[in-house]
Amino acid sequence: MSMRDRATRSGGQDQEGSQIDLTPMLDVVFIMLIFFIVTSSFVKEPGVEIFKPQASTMEACERGTIIFAVDERGDIHYNKNKLPLDKALRTAEAAKKEAPQANIVVQVDRETPAYAVEELIDIVRPILTAPPCISTDDEA
């Protein structure tokens, strides 16, 4: 005898008993959501639009989440703010405290002067645990 037949014969009393209580499932879903929010790390975008140069050879950057951008004028940007060169080390140290395993990524524009990138890397060199990554576009 199927559940439908039983429910119609018993006058609908089994219908209430056969409903699934979703409260425990919702509790688990909310606990998982809280866990993922607490354990996730958020990437702070530099906040400036740049046109990255293309590269013919590329390697993936391991754990690169501290992102600096250097625009075509040589200005440094971090977390949607323009940053003076002398504050780059303190900013990188603070970001490294938040994410100790993170590596530094430098996004450069096609027209960025090389000396600006070199100065930025020289400033943050004391806290580097791996070589910094230069972000490029895929080869067209």
- Blockwise average pLDDT, block size 10, the chain, 140 residues: 54 64 92 89 69 69 80 89 90 88 86 90 88 72
The pLDDT value given to residue 138: 62
- What local confidence, expressed as pLDDT, does residue 140 receive? 47
Amino acid (1-letter code) at residue 54: Q
Q: What are phi and psi of 24, to 5 degrees?
A: -65, -35
pLDDT at position 119:
92
Which residues are CB-contacts of 123 (< 8 A; sequence separation ≥ 6)?
Answer: 85, 86, 88, 89
Averaged pLDDT of the chain: 80
Q: Which pLDDT belongs to residue 31?
A: 94
Q: How many CA atoms within 13 Å lie on the side-chain side of 86? A: 0
Give this prediction's pTM: 0.61
For domain 64-135, the CATH architecture is 2-Layer Sandwich (3.30)
The answer to whether 47 and 99 are in contact (CB under 8 A) is no
Q: In what order do the strands lie in the sheet with 103-108?
A: 81-83, 76-78, 64-70, 103-108, 133-135
Quote the pLDDT of residue 65.
77
d(CA 22, CA 4): 21
Please write the tens of the pLDDT for every residue from 37-75.
888 766 666 767 766 666 666 677 776 678 899 988 989
The structural domains of the chain, with segments of one domain joined by +, span: 3-39, 64-135
